[in-house]
């Protein structure tokens, strides 16, 4: 049907009354004119009228046919279907409510997880034509490819004209201050080429981005704030433009506020402002990262020219890179450490900060899908039961001339209406829960943020899922309703005459529900087990009493000497505070976001890989790592004194298997330096950086023999509450110096939980999903049992009349229930065991299926079944034989 | 087709269309109201015609039908098809 015809018919549908009046008018006119014409031709008035009347004898049918031409049959039928469905839902509100709620749970779960996965992994950057963006992957002779091509090559590319634009971008923490009186704050700053906003096609929310001068290559200290930072720190004040802020004490002018949707090209990273990189060769002392050093390697993003494809650009890029290697004066590249530069699609930005959440989120997506399937089974089951009860209605309609397709369409309309209502409600659920999901995100010295607004992608997903499930679970009852024979249903009035195979099918549905929910519960058990197995030991001595404060005295502002001095003064002051048991500094500390790896060796042997950290005296006791032998660092281990190290037992096992480790020499390679350390102590193995890997060799160095960079203060408190402690420690920081930021304030226990964020998220949510599926299974079970009891009313009545005791009736009902649950449980156990192998392959370090967990889950299942059984069983026992038989 | 043709010169109301066809066929063809109005409405739905209320020659409110662009195209196509068929029939009648 052409579109034009469509709109015409629609318009007619709306102005139907008007049309009828018009037609009436028009035909009356025709009649009168005809009469007049006949009169004029010589007939008498009466004769003319009779003649005209004769010609118009099929007046009504003319009108009907004219109207028929306009009818919009399927739309009118659809409206009738919808009306009919709504009416029938109103008649059985309990059914409609249960169905909609079941679906809302299933769709809501799926939609929540989808929104999260989409925000974290799948959504392209909110910039203009993101598909044109490309990133660079630098292939080296050794090691993994890196993101950043050398700055000198980027400026060569900017002139080469292969791309519509090339821009550099990198992130770093900066100390931010707005006025001199308050403490400096930490912010994440994005350091970008002046053309950044142009290349990405971002329209700033306020201001014009960087000024024309800056964009043309003349640098000026300008900053563009992120929308969220502007809202939070400046209260959304539009007069903020032109004000001065201090970044690492250097004054910058605020020239703009970025658009609300863009959070930078690092996925998930909460950048707070953007500042321009200096032109090549220039630098300012306060901010190392923005210096125009042609040797540094920052992340880069380029926009392909319109119509150009990746392969073309790659060819041109290869030629440019060959030329770069030939002409560069930088010895590092002349040695061809870098082999080639490859272009990769950049529509999604860089995912370094979110890649850890990929596996947990996808596991959750699968689990949510299972919940949705269970919900669908539930509703299909309910619809089948309803269909059986309505067999009479359908038979009557069929005998009155409704075709099977018409009936099927009516049923499909009902199920789609249910699923759309469920989808709408699910969206409300999803809106609530998406925020809760991000409560699991670990916030460290690097803060993460995601745009979780339900956008058109989430809406489309939710409603297509709703529509799809509606059709899926609606087809079955539709098929059922149209397959029965009309005559047999109309003849007998008892529901017992509905075909047995539908009942059998419903039982299979319930069994599948039981199986799925059991599998989900067991999976939840496995995940919980995994979390508790991964939870690192070694910090067990009351980790919630250890307070952590991370600080960053910028090395551009504070000299090595000054940083050492500030740190030791701080330690001194805090250790004298009442309520403090012990205090220490560590460069990284356990289970934070930062880690270091070194090559360590016995002199003259092959080096091995070991992780490392730098700490002050008292660190092991403060954190709760047990010392095995030797001594702790002490204040005499300082700059100039002989270098000393403390190692863990793993390292001893690997390097000094049968010897006394104390006093041995250990060579540690740090950058280009290789220095010899004397081992003075041994501590137990702990999961220090990555809880997912077994504790490996580890070496600690004395912080006073180097200089701290971004150290964390560990304070073990003797007080019962941390709330009072935090401001008092912060006051000590202020007393020492206000020029550097203190951030990421939490307890050691928080760090332990954060290190398991992904696993905890999966464990908690799969538990919730399991319980939801269990509830759905209970509803399904109740449905089929209630139906079965009502179907067998007469049978039970006869049995009771013949002397059956309530106990045996009860047993009859219970037997059916436990047969279903039993077979479902067996299937669920099999599914869980079969699925376990691929899952444990996918998730590292998964605990095995514990028999106790499985047994507990099955018991839970049985208990739920018992609850679902109660009402139908009682009803069965209360059947009055007389009434049951008279009912026939 | 004949209705479309009768509207080629300009808008007409229902009675006038019937009149026009009768006159043009020298009373050979009588279009009855019973088939005229359903046909008109079918063409309205298809968008070949549009209808507007206006005043008839004797100052009565009447609904005037006129051709739309697609209606004109349709008329052309149908006329061509019709001529083809007529020609074919004529050829057959002459030779056999």
Distance CA A881, CA A879 (A): 6
pTM recorded for the entire structure: 0.76
Q: What is the 3-state secondary structure (H, E, C) of A678-692?
A: EEEEEECCCCCCCCC
CB count within 10 Å of CB A599 equals 14
A561-592 confidence digits (pLDDT tens)? 999 999 999 999 999 999 899 999 999 988 88
Q: How far is B57 from chain A (nearest CA, A)?
A: 11
Q: Is the pLDDT of residue A180 over 70?
A: no
Top-confidence residue, A398 or A303: A303
Tokens coding A285: 């002392």
**CB–CB of A783/A871 below 8 Å?**
no
**CB–CB of A272/A189 below 8 Å?**
yes
Distance CA A855, CA A850 (A): 9
| Phi (first) and psi of residue A549, to 5 degrees | -130, 120
Q: Is the pLDDT of residue A750 over 80?
A: yes
Q: Is the pLDDT of residue A489 over 60?
A: no
Chain A residues with CB under 8 Å of B70 CB are 4
A290-333 confidence digits (pLDDT tens)? 887 777 778 888 888 888 888 888 888 888 888 887 777 776 66
> B27 in contact with A at a CB cutoff of 8 Å?
no
Helix (H, G, I), strand (E, B) or coil at A795: helix
Mean pLDDT calculated for residue range A189-207: 86
At which residue do the structure tokens 């041994």 appear? Answer: A682
Chain B residues with CB under 8 Å of A9 CB are 45
Would you list the domain boundaries of chain A?
3-71, 130-345, 356-534+757-886, 543-749
Q: Which residue of A has its CA nearest to B15?
A: A30
CB count within 10 Å of CB A61 equals 12
Chain A residues with CB under 8 Å of B33 CB are 27, 30-31, 34, 55-56, 62
Interface A-B, measured as beta-carbon pairs within 8 A, has a size of 69
Distance CA A222, CA A205 (A): 16
Of the residues A31, A66, A67, A68, the best mutation for testing chain B's interface (the one with the most B CB atoms within 10 Å of its CB) is: A66
> A70 in contact with B at a CB cutoff of 8 Å?
yes
> B20 in contact with A at a CB cutoff of 8 Å?
no
Distance CA B84, CA B91 (A): 11
Q: Tell me which H or E stretch contains A247.
A: strand A244-247
Q: How far is B9 from chain A (nearest CA, A)?
A: 21
Distance CA A398, CA A482 (A): 9
Banded model confidence at residue A495, pLDDT cuts 50, 70, 90:
very low
The interface predicted TM-score of the complex, written ipTM, equals 0.73
H-assigned helices in A290-330: 310-327
Yes or no, beta carbons of A26 and B32 under 8 Å apart: no
Chain B residues with CB under 8 Å of A65 CB are 34, 37-38, 41
Tokens coding A707: 């200089």
At which residue do the structure tokens 């995601």 appear? Answer: A450
pLDDT of residue B11: 80
Q: What share of chain A is helix, strand, coil (3-state, %, to 5)?
A: 55, 15, 30
Q: How far is A106 from chain B (nearest CA, A)?
A: 44
Q: Tell me which H or E stretch contains A372.
A: helix A358-389
Yes or no, beta carbons of B33 and A62 under 8 Å apart: yes
Q: What is the 3-state secondary structure (H, E, C) of A212-270?
A: HHHHCCCCCCEEEECHHHHHHHHCCCHHHCCCEEEECCEEEEEEEECCCCCCCCECCEC
* DSSP one-letter code for A277: P
Banded model confidence at residue A486, pLDDT cuts 50, 70, 90:
low
The listed range with the strongest mean pLDDT (A130-134, A682-686, B33-37) is: A682-686
> A555 in contact with B at a CB cutoff of 8 Å?
no
Proportion of chain A above pLDDT 70, given as a percent: 90
Q: How far is A42 from chain B (nearest CA, A)?
A: 17
A435-474 confidence digits (pLDDT tens)? 777 777 777 777 787 777 767 888 888 888 888 888 877 7
Would you list the domain boundaries of chain B?
2-95
**CB–CB of A256/A206 below 8 Å?**
yes
Q: Where are the beta strands (DSSP E) in A587-727?
A: 596-601, 608-615, 627-630, 644-648, 665-670, 673-683, 698-702, 712-717
Q: How far is A53 from chain B (nearest CA, A)?
A: 11
Tokens coding A208: 């014009």
Distance CA A574, CA A582 (A): 9
Of the residues B41, B46, B65, the best mutation for testing chain A's interface (the one with the most A CB atoms within 10 Å of its CB) is: B41
Distance CA A649, CA A677 (A): 17
Yes or no, beta carbons of A34 and B15 under 8 Å apart: yes
Yes or no, beta carbons of A9 and B45 under 8 Å apart: yes
Per-residue pLDDT of chain B (96 residues), as tens digits, is 777 777 777 788 878 888 788 888 877 777 777 777 878 888 887 788 887 777 777 777 778 888 888 888 888 888 898 899 989 988 888 876
**CB–CB of A665/A657 below 8 Å?**
no
Yes or no, beta carbons of A29 and B46 under 8 Å apart: no
Q: Which of residues 40-59 of B touch A (CB under 8 A)?
A: 40-42, 44-47, 56
Which CATH architecture group holds B2-95?
Answer: Orthogonal Bundle (1.10)
Q: How far is B32 from chain A (nearest CA, A)?
A: 7
Yes or no, beta carbons of A70 and B45 under 8 Å apart: yes
Q: Which of residues 19-48 of A touch B (CB under 8 A)?
A: 22-23, 25-27, 29-31, 33-34, 37
Tokens coding A147: 């993101």
């Amino acid at each position: 049907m052409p579109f034009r015809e469509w709109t015409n018919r629609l318009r007619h549908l709306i102005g139907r009354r008007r049309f009828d009046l018009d037609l009436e008018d028009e035909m009356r006119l025709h009649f009168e004119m005809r009469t007049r014409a006949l009169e004029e031709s010589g007939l008498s008035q009466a004769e003319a009228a009779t003649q005209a009347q004769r010609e118009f004898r099929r007046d009504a049918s003319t009108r009907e046919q004219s109207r028929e031409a306009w009818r919009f049959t399927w739309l009118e039928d659809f409206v009738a279907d919808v009306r009919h469905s709504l009416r029938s839902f109103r008649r059985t509100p309990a059914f409609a409510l249960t169905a909609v709620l079941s679906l809302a749970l299933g769709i809501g779960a799926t939609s929540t997880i989808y929104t999260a996965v989409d925000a974290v992994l799948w959504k392209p950057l909110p910039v203009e034509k993101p598909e044109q963006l490309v990133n660079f992957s630098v292939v080296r002779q050794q090691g993994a490819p890196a993101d950043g091509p050398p700055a000198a090559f980027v400026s060569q590319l900017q002139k080469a004209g292969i791309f519509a634009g090339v821009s550099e971008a990198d992130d770093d923490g900066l100390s931010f201050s707005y006025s001199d009186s308050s403490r400096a704050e930490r912010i994440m700053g994005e350091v970008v080429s002046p053309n950044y906003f142009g290349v990405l096609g971002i329209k700033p929310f306020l201001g014009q981005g960087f000024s024309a001068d800056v964009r043309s290559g003349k640098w000026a200290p300008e900053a563009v704030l992120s929308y969220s930072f502007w809202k939070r720190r400046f209260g959304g004040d539009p007069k903020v433009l032109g004000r001065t802020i201090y970044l690492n004490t250097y004054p910058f002018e605020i020239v703009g506020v970025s658009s609300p949707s863009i959070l930078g090209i690092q996925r998930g990273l909460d950048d707070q402002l953007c500042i321009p990189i200096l032109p090549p060769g220039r630098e300012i002392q306060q901010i190392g990262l923005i210096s125009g050093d042609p040797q540094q390697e920052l992340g880069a993003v380029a926009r392909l020219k319109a119509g150009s494809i990746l392969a073309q650009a790659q060819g041109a890029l290869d030629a440019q890179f060959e030329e770069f290697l030939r002409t560069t004066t930088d010895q590092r590249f002349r040695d061809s450490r870098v082999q080639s530069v490859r272009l990769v699609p950049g529509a999604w930005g860089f995912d370094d900060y979110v890649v850890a959440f990929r596996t947990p989120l996808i596991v959750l997506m699968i689990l949510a899908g299972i919940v949705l399937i269970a919900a669908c089974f539930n509703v299909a089951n309910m619809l089948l039961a309803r269909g059986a009860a309505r067999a009479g209605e359908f038979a009557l309609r069929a005998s009155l001339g409704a075709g099977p397709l018409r009936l099927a369409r009516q049923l499909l309309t009902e199920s789609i209406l249910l699923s759309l209502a469920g989808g709408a409600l699910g969206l409300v659920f999803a809106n609530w829960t998406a925020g809760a999901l991000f409560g699991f995100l670990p916030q460290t010295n690097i803060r993460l943020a995601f745009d979780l607004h339900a956008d058109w992608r989430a809406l489309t997903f939710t409603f297509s899922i709703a529509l799809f499930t509606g059709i899926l679970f609606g087809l079955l009852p539709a098929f059922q309703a149209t397959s029965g024979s009309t005559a047999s249903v109309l003849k007998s009035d008892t529901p017992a005459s509905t075909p047995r195979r539908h009942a059998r099918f419903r039982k299979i549905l319930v069994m599948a529900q039981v199986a799925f929910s059991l599998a989900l519960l067991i999976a939840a058990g496995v995940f919980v087990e995994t979390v508790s197995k991964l939870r690192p030991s070694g910090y067990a001595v009351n980790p919630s009493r250890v307070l952590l404060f991370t600080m960053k005295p910028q090395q551009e502002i504070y000299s090595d000497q000054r940083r050492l001095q500030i740190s030791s003064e701080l330690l001194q002051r805090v250790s004298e505070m009442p309520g403090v048991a012990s205090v220490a500094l560590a460069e990284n500390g356990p289970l934070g976001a930062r880690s270091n790896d070194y090559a360590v060796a016995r002199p003259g042997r092959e080096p091995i890989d070991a992780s490392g950290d730098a700490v002050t005296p008292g660190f092991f006791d403060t954190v709760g790592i047990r010392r095995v032998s030797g001594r702790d660092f002490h204040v005499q281990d300082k700059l100039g004194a002989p270098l000393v190290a403390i190692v863990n037992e793993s390292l001893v096992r690997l390097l000094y298997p049968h010897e006394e480790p104390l006093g041995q020499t250990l060579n540690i390679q740090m950058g280009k330096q290789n220095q010899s350390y004397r081992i003075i102590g041994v501590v137990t193995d702990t999961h220090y950086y990555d809880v997912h890997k077994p504790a490996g060799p580890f070496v600690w160095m004395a912080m006073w023999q180097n200089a701290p960079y971004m150290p964390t203060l560990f304070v073990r408190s003797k007080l019962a509450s941390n709330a009072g402690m935090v401001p008092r420690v912060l006051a000590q920081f202020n007393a020492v110096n206000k020029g550097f930021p203190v951030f990421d304030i939490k307890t050691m226990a928080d760090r332990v939980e954060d290190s398991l964020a992904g696993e905890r998220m999966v464990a908690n949510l799969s538990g919730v999903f399991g319980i939801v599926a269990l509830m759905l299974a209970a509803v399904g079970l109740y449905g089929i049992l209630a139906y079965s009891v009502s179907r067998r009313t007469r049978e039970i009545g006869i049995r009771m009349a013949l002397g059956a005791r309530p106990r045996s009736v009860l047993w009859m009902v219970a037997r059916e229930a436990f047969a279903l649950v039993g077979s479902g449980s067996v299937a669920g156990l099999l599914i869980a065991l079969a699925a376990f192998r691929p899952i444990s392959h996918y998730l590292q370090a998964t605990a095995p299926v514990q028999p106790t967990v499985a047994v507990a889950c099955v018991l839970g299942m049985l208990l739920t079944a018992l609850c679902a059984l109660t009402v139908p069983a009682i009803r069965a026992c209360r059947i009055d034989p007389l009434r049951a038989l008279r009912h026939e | 087709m004949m209705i479309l043709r009768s509207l080629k010169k300009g808008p007409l109301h229902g009675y006038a269309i019937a009149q026009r066809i009768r006159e043009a066929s020298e009373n050979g063809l009588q279009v009855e109201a019973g088939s005229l109005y359903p046909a008109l409405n079918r063409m309205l739905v298809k968008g070949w015609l549009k209808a507007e209320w206006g005043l008839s020659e004797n100052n009565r409110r009447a609904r005037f039908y006129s051709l739309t662009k697609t209606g004109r195209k349709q008329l052309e196509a149908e006329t061509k098809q019709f001529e083809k068929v007529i020609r074919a029939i004529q050829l057959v009648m002459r030779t056999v």
